[in-house]
Structure 1
């Protein structure tokens, strides 16, 4: 625990940078995804959106890495399980339930009964971004139980090969449906490595940080190489199988390698610029509400464009929608926080 105690009272700027980048990236994924489904696959807009969509695939892996890192950073082994759980869950569950209810009443084209919508809360299947929160809750539940194991190299190697094996298996076209349905992005198993990486990194912070800082140039080379492999993989998949979900999903070996090198490269930096730190902290602080709210803003903007017969697959759509989702989500979060302080 010596390494963890050493950094416990120190805010790590690279964490804020990674969370801020991931917040922006997840919005870009959803905006470019909307463009991809509404533009000609031979157009420049389509191909530019596809590249940007893939270059931002580090977002969810990074969020899960940060969850593991943050838990290990603040965890007190002597804490009682229920006290720990209550403290962690109160930070995410109330907002999750509140936003889920908002989506239930404001989404107009979800073909589910109200009963099914309520039940879907436990799985996060009402809308495409909610799956992330139940995964985090499960990871919170198991963290104290496997804490000592997650801090080891053995856990890192086991979960790496487990996830890589799952990702390779899911690329096999004739995989039985009974297997593939249980290994989707909604499955904790599909993300466990990133969480363990976060716990391990934090628990061995000094050693790991010195190593990645020393080898930053090599990490950059590996990041660039994995970026090339990722983009090549995407375009080859879409050429062989014109299925956007299959060709662009998070659940791929190439995304895993790209995400690992991206996370480690960003975490190798230190920042002394106070103004930059404040901006990163602001985005990082409001990242959860931005994540929960921006798909609803995107939903209504897309609906507005369709009703008025405006072009969705355009650069103008991209610019307007991205900044509306980002700034709108940020303002919503600021207003909610001010309202909470009044209660």
Structure 2
């Protein structure tokens, strides 16, 4: 299977990853310094939080984009086994780590309970892996049908399903029941209808990437306007409590995330040189996603200045995640603990040349 690297996806993945870490660093700052009410800086930070909510939905888009682009004829043999090894095992391992770190007065019983909650209902930061596995299955079921349809039809249907699903939980109150309250606040994140638009969008953008880039170029004058209108609209709706939640599972985040994806893909496609920093963050993005909250959610007040606290916390979280991932990946089975490190285009090209050389030597 001939996989091709798309530099724009490295940009998008790196920006989404940095957005997630920044979001949780800001959340830490607002939690510590503004437990009850905001001042002017607090309101600005809250707006920044809203602006960073595109991170997780973008990862859903990227996952299906790459899948549709690289596997146009369906899943290769052993695909699910490979994904279980490289995504499932780290997911289970980190579920146990988070259970240990975030369970007070831990006992064997409480550790087991929290671990099971993390694994089966995604009660920790890596819940998106459960969502991605749902879309792997959905891709396997639908990809032949999607290939033969006009993209507008599935996109409209997916948007309606996604928006109506989120609107139901955004604008209705849960029954007076602990289980229902959990579903309304957190549980509804897991089923695929809450993310299906990003999946369909990723499918068609990945499958028809050259045509998609041409479309972005033809609509380039509207891209920043789309971003600006969706961002301002989201902030206004949040101000009026429509809905009141601060979450990537708001209905208006669909428009905002889409605008960010389009903007990043368009402008990064115009950049001839991609900095090594972008490739590095993209390479470590899965590990950063898994590990960063071990810092952001455990470190208390660093300084008396909330801005300084957020900046330091962001840097520490990023460096911690990259360093731990690098060290653990030196162990032969380390990739099954904190995630396998992706390859930069340079490393991928070297690997391709090496494989071609091995094939040529066998044919001589």
Indicate whether the TM-score tops 0.5.
yes
What secondary structure sits across from 1:158 in the alignment?
A: helix
Which residue number corresponds to residue 117 of structure 2? 120
C-alpha distance 144-235 of structure 1, shift in aligned 2 (>3 A) = same
Q: 6, 10, 14: which one pairs with 1:20?
A: 14
Alpha-carbon offset, residue 88 of structure 1? 2.6
Deviation at 1:176, TM superposition (A): 5.2
Listed as ranges, the matches of 1:1-343 within 5 Å are: 9-40=3-34, 41-75=37-71, 77=73, 79=75, 83-109=78-104, 113-127=110-124, 129-151=125-147, 152=149, 153=151, 154-174=153-173, 181=183, 184-237=188-241, 246-269=244-267, 270-274=269-273, 276=275, 278-302=276-300, 305=301, 311=304, 314-340=306-332
Pairwise CA distance, 1:272: 4.6
Distance between the aligned counterparts of 1:317 and 1:295, measured in 2? 15
Moved more, 70-79 or 137-146: 70-79
Deviation string 1:239-287 (CA, Å, 9 cap, x unpaired) is x88xxxx4311122221111111111212231554352x3222111100
For structure 2, the residue ranges without an aligned partner over 5 or more in a row are 336-364
Q: For the residues of structure 1 that align with 2:74 and 2:123, how far apart are their CA atoms? A: 37
Greater Rg by CA: 2
- Structure 1 CA distance for aligned equivalents of residues 227 and 286 of structure 2: 27
- The answer on whether the counterparts of 1:20 and 1:284 sit within 8 Å (CA) in structure 2 is yes
Contact kept in structure 2, 1:72 and 1:202, CA below 8 Å: yes
- Contact 1:68-1:195 within 8 A present in 2 as well: yes
For residues 180 and 196 of structure 1, the distance between their equivalents in structure 2, rounded to whole angstroms, comes to 28
Moved more, 318-327 or 162-171: 162-171
Q: Following TM superposition, where does structure 1 have runs of at least 4 consecutive aligned residues deviating by more than 6 angstroms?
A: none
* CA-to-aligned-CA distance 1:204-256 (integer Å, 9 cap, x gap): 2222110012212201111111111011112221xx88xxxx43111222211
- What is the CA–CA distance in structure 1 between the aligned matches of 2:334 and 2:86, rounded to whole Å? 18
1:200/1:179 CA distance change after superposition, 3 Å: farther
Cα deviation code 1:65-89 (max 9, x no counterpart): 00101111222536566x1211233
Q: Distance in 2 between matches of 1:189 and 1:124?
A: 16
* Residue deviations 1:82-105 (CA, integer Å, cap 9, x gap): x12112332211222222222222
Q: TM-score by structure 2 length?
A: 0.80
In 2 relative to 1, CA 176–126 (structure 1 residues): closer, same or farther, beyond 3 Å? Answer: closer
Partners of 1:163 and 1:190 within 8 A in 2? yes
Aligned residue pairs: how many? 322
Q: Residue 27 of structure 1 contacts residue 326 of structure 1 at CA under 8 Å; is this kept in 2?
A: yes
| Kept in 2: contact 1:39–1:45 (CA 8 A) | no
Shift of 1:187: 2.4
Greater shift, 113-122 or 45-54, is seen at 113-122
Q: 1:180, CA displacement in angstroms?
A: 8.7
TM-fit CA distance, 1:130: 2.4
Contact 2:205 2:212 in 1 (8 A): yes
TM-score by length of 1: 0.84
CA 1:78–1:324 in structure 2 vs 1: closer, same or farther (change >3 Å)? Answer: closer
Following superposition, the deviation at residue 117 of structure 1 comes to 2.2
Q: Which 5+ residue runs of structure 1 have no aligned equivalent?
A: none
Moved more, 176-185 or 35-44: 176-185
